């Protein structure tokens, strides 16, 4: 019985540790995922304007991080312009960013496209962002968004 209890405790601690964003200060020059160079990155607003309804492009973009998933660091919200944001997910769920990346400017190498996001997925992100039950329940319609699938990210500012 003790061995079973000990295994349960160790497993619980391991899951709790893995459910946290990585530690770190997200300093200029640090990279996550594939190591990339910030050279030739374009402002995300320029790319977003060229996407159209169902466009898709592989490129390097430069943008400011508005939010980082507080659970694991597994998604980011980027500022496109004053009224538009973009959602970033990591390729193959292969890397995460520390919460300290919030407010930093990054260069991301990846695929940029437009996507219609389901209500269930929007509610999931709202839960991750620790929104209230009322805010989550208020999400009742799918939304079109700019989505980035990141292969690599480097902090530039």
Name all domains of the chain by residue range, CATH numbers in brackets: 21-155 (2.40.50)
Half-sphere exposure of residue 107: CA atoms within 13 angstroms, side-chain side:
18
Query: In the prediction, which pLDDT does 52 show?
Result: 67
Give me the pLDDT at residue 6, please: 52
The tens digit of pLDDT for each residue in 115-150 reads 888 999 999 888 888 889 999 999 999 988 899 999
Global confidence as pTM: 0.77
| Cβ atoms of 151 and 36 closer than 8 Å | yes
Which whole number is the average pLDDT over 25-44? 92
CB 22 within 8 A of CB 138: no
Residue 154 pLDDT class (50, 70, 90 cuts): very high
Mean pLDDT, residues 40-49 taken together: 89
The string of pLDDT tens digits covering residues 52-101 is: 655 788 899 999 999 998 888 899 999 998 888 999 999 999 999 999 99
10, 15, 30, 108: CA torsion to nearest 10: 160
| pLDDT for 13 beyond 80 | no
Q: Does residue 14 carry a pLDDT above 50?
A: no
List the one residue out of 156, 149, 157 whose CA is nearest residue 58. 149
Name the DSSP letter for residue 81. S
């Amino acid at each position: 019985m003790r061995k079973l209890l000990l295994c349960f405790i160790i497993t619980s601690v391991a899951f709790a540790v893995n459910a946290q964003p990585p530690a770190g200060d997200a300093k200029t020059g640090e990279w996550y995922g594939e190591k990339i160079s910030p050279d030739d990155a374009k402002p995300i607003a320029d790319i977003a304007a060229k996407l159209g309804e169902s466009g898709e492009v592989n490129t390097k973009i430069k943008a400011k991080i508005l939010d980082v998933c507080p659970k694991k660091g597994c998604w980011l919200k980027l500022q496109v312009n004053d009224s538009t944001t973009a959602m970033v997910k990591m390729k193959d769920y292969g890397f995460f960013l520390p919460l300290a990346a919030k407010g930093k400017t990054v260069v991301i190498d990846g695929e940029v496209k437009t996507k219609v996001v389901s209500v269930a997925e929007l509610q999931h992100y709202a839960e991750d962002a620790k929104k209230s039950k009322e805010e989550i329940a208020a999400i009742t319609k799918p939304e079109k968004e700019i989505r980035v699938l990141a292969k690599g990210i480097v902090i530039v500012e």
